[in-house]
Structure 1
Amino acid sequence: MNKEKRTEIFTRLRDENPEPTTELNYSNPFELLIAVILSAQATDVGVNKATDKLYPVANTPEAIYGLGVNGLKEYIKTIGLFNSKAENVIKTCKILIDKHNSQVPDNREDLEALPGVGRKTANVVLNTAFRQPAMAVDTHIFRVSNRTGIAPGKNVVEVEKRLMRLVPKDFLMDAHHWLILHGRYTCTARKPKCGACMIEDLCEFRQKRDYQ
């Protein structure tokens, strides 16, 4: 795919949604960090249902740490892998309190040192909370990047690096959100809605279907 096509693709995505953001509910970097940790192999809707009950009670490292593992589990037990996530969140809160003055770090090294935080989670926090150019490649972005030809790659890190290099700079800050939303609602896994897709004429997917 050439630069002109990519530019037009992101121009259309931006025109439709000028200020995209995550669908996770949060009001500060700490709430976002915890929500993203909880969202691994879970839906944003499911995480929001849990955090909508949790955050009014505890939304600081000290408050969640005070709940303890078992107390936290009561709020997140509807989320997949809640046992290990509860352990990781409590450990993360302790590190934030002890090493970071209860603040979420704004750099990759410190973020990835937190339990339950990998490269993808760090990228989400860096991009969404701190407005740093970063590309959190999940299954949606991986699929869209390969299927459309925007930035094909064999694994998530390869796709991430290609997107960071190939997405025009004017769109880099928000490209992560546009691609996720496009994959979640239009370029879906089993039946991509090619017939209702605003970039169908630019997409290089060879097995297009007129799904709506």
Structure 2
Amino acid sequence: MNKDKRLVILERLRDNNPKPETELNWSTPFELLIAVLLSAQATDVSVNKATDKLYPVANTPQSILDLGVDGVKEYIKTIGLFNSKAENVIKTCRLLVELHNSEIPENREALEALPGVGRKTANVVLNTAFGWPTIAVDTHIYRVSNRTKFAMGKTVDDVEQKLLKVVPKEFKVDVHHWLILHGRYTCIARKPRCGSCMIEDLCEFKEKVYPES
């Protein structure tokens, strides 16, 4: 895909959604971090249902630490992998209290040192909470980037590096949200909704799917 076509795609996505936001519910960087940590292999809807009950009770590292592992599990037991996630939440909260004065570090290395926090989670927090031009690549973004030929790569890291290279500076902060929402609602996994896609004419996917007339 050439530079001009990518630019038009980004302009259309921006015009359609000038100020995109994550669909996870959060009001502080800490709440965002925990929500993203819980969202691995789970839907944002299921995470929001859990955190909407958890955060009014405990939404700081110390207050969640006070709940203990079993207490956290009670709130997140409807989310996949809740046992290991509860352990990671408690370990992360302990480190935030002990090492970071209960603040979320605006630092990639420090974030990735927290239990359960990998590069993708760190990217989301740096981007969404702090406005960094990072691009977190999840399954939706990986699929959309490869399927459209916008930024092809064999691994999520490959796609991330390609996106960082080809996306102009003015779009970098928001492109993560545009692509994830496009993958979640239009360029879906099994049967993409090409007939209602705003970039269908620019997409280089050869096996486009249209509703039967």
Task: Work out whether the TM-score is over 0.5.
Answer: yes
> Equivalents in 2 of 1:43, 1:179: separation in Å?
16
Amino acid at match of 1:91: K
> Equivalents in 1 of 2:119, 2:140: separation in Å?
16
TM-superposition CA deviations, 1:15-39 (whole Å, max 9, x none)? 0100001000000100000000000
Counterpart secondary structure, 1:205: coil
Q: Which runs of 5+ in 1 are unaligned?
A: none
Matched, 1:154 2:154: yes
> Equivalents in 1 of 2:133, 2:22: separation in Å?
15
TM-superposition CA deviations, 1:32-89 (whole Å, max 9, x none)? 0000000000000000000000000000000000000001100000000000000000
Counterpart secondary structure, 2:189: coil
Identity over aligned pairs, percent: 74
Q: Which runs of 5+ in 2 are unaligned?
A: none
Amino acid at match of 1:57: V
**2:62: which partner in 1?**
62
**1:2: which partner in 2?**
2
**2:76: which partner in 1?**
76
Number of residue pairs aligned between Structure 1 and Structure 2: 212
Amino acid at match of 1:48: N
TM-superposition CA deviations, 1:149-205 (whole Å, max 9, x none)? 110000000000000010121111100000000000000000100010000000000
RMSD of aligned Cα (Å):
0.8
> Equivalents in 2 of 1:43, 1:143: separation in Å?
17
Q: Which 4+ stretches in 1 moved above 4 angstroms?
A: none
| Contact 1:191–1:211 under 8 Å retained in 2 | no
What TM-score results when the alignment is normalised by the length of structure 2?
Answer: 0.98
> Equivalents in 2 of 1:46, 1:30: separation in Å?
18
> Equivalents in 2 of 1:186, 1:160: separation in Å?
21
**1:120: which partner in 2?**
120
Change (3 A) 1:195 1:39: same
Matched, 1:179 2:154: no
Amino acid at match of 2:114: L
**2:29: which partner in 1?**
29
